[in-house]
Structure 1
Amino acid sequence: MDKNPTLVATAPVSPVMAAALRRIGAGPLRLGFGLALLVALAVVPLVSLLAGQSYYVTLVSRMMVFALAALGLNLVVGYGGMVSFGHALYVGVGAFAVGILSFHGIGNGWVHLAVALGAGAVLATLIGLVCLRVNGIAFIMITLAFAQMMYFAAVGLKQYGGDDGYALPARSDFGVLNLENDVALYYVIFALLAVTLLAFHRLVNARFGMLLRGCRTNERRMRALGYDTVRARLVAYVISALVCVLAGMLLANLARFVSPSYMQWSVSGELIVMAVLGGTGSLLGPVLGAIVWLALEELLSSGAWGLPGDLEALLKTHWLGVLGIVVVLVTLTLKQGLYGWLQQREQREEKTQ
């Protein structure tokens, strides 16, 4: 049995494996689109400041924070086949680590980071050991139950604002990294998103990624081959949770505010929608999905469409319903998400050449 991993790692790439690699974004589209996306994100502060629209620095920062969280969730949903409806819990853990420590006068960002990741790792391990005993709808319900338990526990923390939340006196202090500057915070978020994308690319294309996808396809067969599927799924779950913890820290600093609402089930639902909208099982899909989702949210909620007064007022009031219809239509027509649609177009163009 010990020889199986070596065989997997050294076997020639079959047409089936080549197709699988294309699905996770290993083709030229991934490189070109990924570089274009990163370059576009890198120049946003410069363009925004030149245009005198500094608000877009904050808006795109928020997009990248949620892209990071959706990317973390996608590791278990898209690659592991574990649909978690409780990852907002870990976003809240990261945010509350910053909030509680700041409340007690501890502003050191490295302490915030260590406490957040430590608490997130312990919590994710304990919850994962419980959740991974089951699959399917039971897994979804247990993750949701844990998230709601922590949400109501956070609401009960009246010392830290309870349901009203808590405004941070200052952002996390990382010394030379002055996060009080919105542009500096923007590039910290950008760098962490880029590093996470690179790390996940290596992870999902390594032996561990193959094992994780094997568990998604047929866990029983993987166990029969001698693989420790529970450990693989647990490791993926913890890594996924820690990325969401990191996103929670960044969200708290970006908003200068901590709230139990970060842990609500609706936030978990939004992260799933972002991943599905962009395309699960691909690295760039959740990033694209988060950007498109929040861009649509901003566009529809603004109500500045130049429509007749009553119609514009109606759409501005019920913009969330319009957003839902758009997402449903995209999901039904593009079953592999926006990024999957781009990949299919690339494949069709290659066949016609």
Structure 2
Amino acid sequence: MIANLPTRPSSLIPLALFAMLALAPIIATASDQPFWIEFFARVMIYAIAASALNLALGMGGLVSFGHALFLGIGAYAVALPAFHESGNGWLHLLLCLSFSGIAALVTGAISLRTSGIAFIMITLAFAQMGYFLFVSLKQYGGDDGLPIGQTSRFGPLNLGSPLMVYGVAFAVLALVTWWIARLRVAPFGMTLRAAQQNARRVNAIGLQAQRLQLAAYVISGMICAVAGLLLANLNAFASPSTMAWTVSGELIVMVVLGGMGSVFGPLIGAIAYLVLEEGLKGVTEHWMAIFGPLIVVMALLGKRGIVGLLQRLDRPPAPACSPGVPENLPVAPLEGAHR
């Protein structure tokens, strides 16, 4: 039993992070620091959104600069019914999943007719359209946003307290992480990753790569909207700024920083990004001048992100040559190497 426990840094550190997140509310309550409950709840919510983007970006190769649109849809799925005196959480969740799914299906089907820079710009344009749509809704606060008077209630479960949002966000993050780990080795996930490498070969064996990518994009948008629903309940506020292109950029940085295509990369990237940001804010008001170069340095040190650096630690050191054995012996070519 003990022999089967993970001992590699790339496995131990993510598990340690989950353990830290599980203990954080207890430590924050015991030390009378409720701020840390709200802060780490926000970290987990962004980790959920980054995990959703990782499905499209890291596994599907779709560089979406518009995932903030789905985050905003999830937030307004809570704010608009609450404005009309409805705090039914099941209604909020239904609106969140249905509208984000429809939006992802329509925008994804159009965007996937292009690729490369054109795909990035079209997803960005759709997110900006959503942003300006909600800015124009003056009866719902417009650019000033909309306070949420009634948070989501799922029967006896009410997301009106940061601690309750924290518990739900932790459960959702754990579920999404476990699901993505299973998806990576499932036929759909393996085919999706193959389409990222070479879509023509996937099409040649009878599978339609574009349909797989569209399915991944829709699922990704719906998961991201759930993160928006939790964020709206945590802040008791919804704002069009949630749909700004800068939010999409932050999610991309979290995924790249943690490690694209990996299971724990979005969680590690979200923690590193937000903890570093919060720490620098407490040191200087010019924190952005330090934060930007640090992100660039961290990205340059590991092309596969922080997870890539941890995986390097998994590799045992190369054995030294035995005494008396020359180091530059000729190596026979592998069989079939020139085929």
Structure-1-length-normalised TM-score: 0.86
Q: What is the percentage of aligned positions where both structures have the same residue?
A: 47
Q: Are residue 65 (structure 1) and residue 45 (structure 2) matched? A: yes
Q: Are residue 286 (structure 1) and residue 266 (structure 2) matched? A: yes
Aligned counterpart, 1:337: 305
Task: Give SS of 2:158's match.
Answer: coil
Aligned counterpart, 1:229: 209
Letter paired with 2:65: F
Aligned counterpart, 1:148: 128
Task: Give SS of 2:223's match.
Answer: helix
Q: 2:219, 2:293 → 1: CA distance?
A: 33
Q: Against the structure 1 CA distance between its residues 211 and 113, is the aligned structure 2 distance closer, same or farther, given a 3 Å change threshold?
A: same
Q: 2:33, 2:308 → 1: CA distance?
A: 33
Letter paired with 1:200: I
Aligned counterpart, 1:195: 175
**2:159 equivalent among 174, 179, 195:** 179
Q: 1:162: how far off? A: 0.4
Q: Are residue 347 (structure 1) and residue 327 (structure 2) matched? A: no
Q: 1:158, 1:352 → 2: CA distance?
A: 68
Aligned counterpart, 2:19: 39
Task: Give SS of 1:317's match.
Answer: coil
Q: 1:205, 1:255 → 2: CA distance?
A: 36
Task: Give SS of 2:154's match.
Answer: coil
Aligned counterpart, 1:91: 71
| CA deviation map 1:133-189 (0-9, x unaligned) | 111111101100100011000100111110000111131111221322321221111
Q: 1:71, 1:27 → 2: CA distance?
A: 24
Q: 2:264, 2:156 → 1: CA distance?
A: 31
Q: Are residue 326 (structure 1) and residue 294 (structure 2) matched? A: yes
Q: 1:50, 1:178 → 2: CA distance?
A: 23
Question: Does the CA contact (< 8 Å) of 2:10 and 2:307 recur in 1?
Answer: no
Q: 1:27, 1:211 → 2: CA distance?
A: 30
| CA deviation map 1:123-142 (0-9, x unaligned) | 11011110111111111011
Q: 2:10, 2:279 → 1: CA distance?
A: 27
Q: 1:27, 1:145 → 2: CA distance?
A: 45
Q: 2:15, 2:319 → 1: CA distance?
A: 25
Q: 1:129, 1:218 → 2: CA distance?
A: 20
Q: 1:114, 1:141 → 2: CA distance?
A: 29
Letter paired with 1:143: T
Q: 1:204: how far off? A: 1.5
| CA deviation map 1:35-78 (0-9, x unaligned) | 22211110100011111111100000000000000010011111
CA RMSD of aligned residues (A): 1.5
Aligned counterpart, 1:277: 257
Aligned counterpart, 2:324: none
Q: Are residue 211 (structure 1) and residue 170 (structure 2) matched? A: no
Q: 1:352, 1:258 → 2: CA distance?
A: 57
| CA deviation map 1:63-98 (0-9, x unaligned) | 000000001001111111110000000000000111
Q: 1:347, 1:227 → 2: CA distance?
A: 36
Which consecutive aligned stretches of 4+ in structure 1 deviate over 2 angstroms post-superposition? 26-35
Q: 2:7, 2:193 → 1: CA distance?
A: 18
Aligned counterpart, 1:129: 109
Aligned counterpart, 1:9: none
Q: Are residue 263 (structure 1) and residue 231 (structure 2) matched? A: no
Letter paired with 2:298: V
Q: 1:202: how far off? A: 1.0
Could you list the runs of 5+ residues in structure 1 that have no partner in the other structure?
Answer: 1-25, 304-315
Q: 1:141, 1:250 → 2: CA distance?
A: 28
Letter paired with 2:269: G
Q: 1:33: how far off? A: 3.0
Letter paired with 1:331: A
Q: 1:32: how far off? A: 2.7
Task: Give SS of 2:113's match.
Answer: coil
Task: Give SS of 2:153's match.
Answer: coil
**2:275 equivalent among 295, 299, 310:** 295
Q: 1:290, 1:34 → 2: CA distance?
A: 12
Aligned counterpart, 2:329: none
Question: Does the CA contact (< 8 Å) of 2:87 and 2:150 recur in 1?
Answer: yes
Could you list the runs of 5+ residues in structure 2 that have no partner in the other structure?
Answer: 1-5, 321-339
| CA deviation map 1:182-230 (0-9, x unaligned) | 2122111100000011111111110011111111100011111111111
Give the stretch that moved more between structures: 280-289 or 179-188: 179-188
Q: 1:317: how far off? A: 2.5
Letter paired with 2:263: L
Aligned length: 315
Q: 1:31: how far off? A: 4.0
Question: Does the CA contact (< 8 Å) of 2:145 and 2:240 recur in 1?
Answer: yes
